[in-house]
Amino acid sequence: MKEDASPRSSGTPGLASASLVDGLLEVTLARPPLNELGLELLGELEGLVARLPDAQGLLLTSALPGGFSAGADLRALHAAIAARGHAAVVDDVRAFLGRIGAALTAIDAWPGPTCAAVHGVVFGGGLELMLACDLRVADRTARFAFPELRLGLVPGFGGLARLLRDVGQGHARELLLTGRSLNATRARDAGLVGQVTAPGAHVDVARRAVRQAMRQDPEALAAAKRLFKRPERLADDLAAEVDTFCALFARPEVARALEAFAARTDALPYLP
């Protein structure tokens, strides 16, 4: 992760940038085409986690016009299967889930206030990243979905466990089992986001929200977060989610679904 002109941790230009101003660490994701979460962007997230001890608050957003994140890098996953075989990739997938799960859990459990400012596409792993943040502000262009079941999978970055924690069984079932996307207004009504803004205003609104939270007593804020999030209860659900994902991923149906996905030429093949 870089701050201002310092080197990027991944060595790949354009993945993410960070600035630390008056205690607020602002991280802007910028990995074309739409911040797909693969090994490169995972490295950036791990760099972000390493920076958290220097900050009092965190703001996550995206510089890409299409949205916050389209989720996991499925084309890279298909390419790995094509090159090495499905069975050979299973252990790599579990290792990746362990790393990204640890990064999102570190953001989720960090005692300071965190906020995601989202717009456009917020799908799959991108939605899981948003759910790791305390506060969520959505541009009214935002759309939210968990399309994993179409590929024969479930969320694997902790998204289902956090979704159940934050919005409850009813909304979670509708979002996951149907695969339909929610617009920003419905997401706010479901409790998925706290505020909806006019187009282009979400980052400024989110910045004000997280800075307001930063003015709270830090020890009381951290204690409140522990009461809200119950990390000791979440751990078992997170482990079960990874185990389920890996068991489903090993099936040949998933390799075929990823091949079909990679062959598509739609501009946004992950849209419902």
* 46-98 per-position pLDDT tens digit: 999 999 999 999 999 999 999 999 999 999 999 999 999 999 999 999 999 99
Kindly tell me the burial class for residue 149, based on how many C-beta atoms sit within 10 Å of its own C-beta (0-12, 13-18, 19 or more).
middle
Catalogue all structural domains in the chain, each as residue range(s) with its CATH number. 16-263 (3.90.226.10)
Q: How confident is the model at residue 9 (pLDDT cuts 50, 70, 90)?
A: very low
DSSP structural state of residue 261: H
Q: Which entry of 26, 40, 44, 128 is annotated as an active-site residue?
A: 128
For residue 218, pLDDT over 60 is answered with yes
Instruction: Identify the pLDDT of residue 14.
Output: 53
For residue 231, pLDDT over 90 is answered with no
For residue 264, pLDDT over 90 is answered with no
Instruction: Identify the pLDDT of residue 1.
Output: 45
For residue 8, pLDDT over 60 is answered with no
Instruction: Indicate the residue type of 79.
Output: A
pLDDT in tens, 31-46: 999 999 999 999 999 9
Q: Give dist(CA 197, CA 85) in Å, integer.
A: 45
Q: How confident is the model at residue 260 (pLDDT cuts 50, 70, 90)?
A: very high
The tokens of 191 are what? 């409790």
* pTM, two decimal places: 0.92
Mean pLDDT of 185-207: 97
Q: Give dist(CA 34, CA 265) in Å, integer.
A: 15
SS3 content of the chain, % helix, strand, coil (to 5): 55, 15, 30
For residue 191, pLDDT over 90 is answered with yes
Instruction: Identify the pLDDT of residue 15.
Output: 77
Residue located via tokens 């069984």: 169
Specify the pairing of strand 182-183 against strand 143-145: antiparallel
Q: Is 148 a catalytic residue?
A: yes
Instruction: Identify the pLDDT of residue 232.
Output: 81
Backbone φ and ψ of 64, nearest 5°: -90, 135
The tokens of 25 are what? 């660490």
Q: Which entry of 26, 36, 40, 148 is annotated as an active-site residue?
A: 148
- For 213, the 3-state DSSP assignment is helix
Mean residue pLDDT of the chain comes to 91
**Could you tell me which of 159, 62, 57 has the C-alpha nearest to residue 114?**
57
Q: Taking the CB of residue 229, how many other CB atoms lie within 10 A of it?
A: 16
Q: How confident is the model at residue 114 (pLDDT cuts 50, 70, 90)?
A: very high
Residue located via tokens 């960070």: 18
The tokens of 95 are what? 């290792």
Contacts of 194 (CB under 8 A, 6+ apart): 135, 136, 137, 188, 209
Q: Is 40 a catalytic residue?
A: no
